[in-house]
Structure 1
Amino acid sequence: MGHPKFPSKHYDTPSHPWQKVRIEQEAGLIHQYGLKNKREIWKANTKVREMRRQARKLTANSSDEQFQKEKNLLLAKLNRLGMLDENAGLEDVLRMTPESFLERRLQTQVYLQGLSSTVRQARQLIVHGHISIDGAVARVPGILVTRPQEKSISYSPASALNSDLHPVRPGIQETFEDEVEGKTQDNEKVKGESEDNAKTDAKTDSKKDKETETDKEEEKK
Structure 2
Amino acid sequence: MKLDYVLALKTEDFMERRLQTCVYKLGLAKSIHHARVLIRQRHIRVGKQIVNVPSFVVRLDSQKHIDFALSSPFGGGRPGRVRRKKAAAASKKDGGDAEEEDEE
TM-score grouping bracket, smaller chain normalisation: 0.5 to 0.7
Give the alignment partner of residue 61 of structure 2, picking from 148, 153, 156.
148
The corresponding residue for 1:108 is 21
Relative contact order (C-alpha < 8 Å, sep 6+): which is higher? Answer: 2
Structure 2 residues without counterparts, runs of 5 or longer: 80-104
**CA RMSD between the two structures:** 1.8
Aligned partners of 1:93, 1:155: CA distance in 2, in Å?
32
Structure 1 residues without counterparts, runs of 5 or longer: 1-70, 76-88, 167-221
Aligned partners of 1:162, 1:93: CA distance in 2, in Å?
36
The corresponding residue for 1:157 is 70
The corresponding residue for 1:135 is 48
Computing the radius of gyration from Cα coordinates, the structure with the larger value is 1
The alignment partner of 1:161 has SS state of helix
Aligned partners of 1:94, 1:162: CA distance in 2, in Å?
39
The alignment partner of 1:148 has SS state of coil
Aligned partners of 1:101, 1:148: CA distance in 2, in Å?
15
Identical pairs, percent = 34
Q: Could you tell me whether the CA contact under 8 Å between 1:135 and 1:157 is conserved in 2? A: no
The Cα of 1:104 is off from its aligned counterpart by 0.1
Taking the TM superposition and a 5 Å limit, the aligned residue runs for 1:1-221 are 75=2, 90=4, 92-163=5-76
Aligned partners of 2:46, 2:7: CA distance in 1, in Å?
30
The Cα of 1:94 is off from its aligned counterpart by 2.9
The Cα of 1:95 is off from its aligned counterpart by 3.1
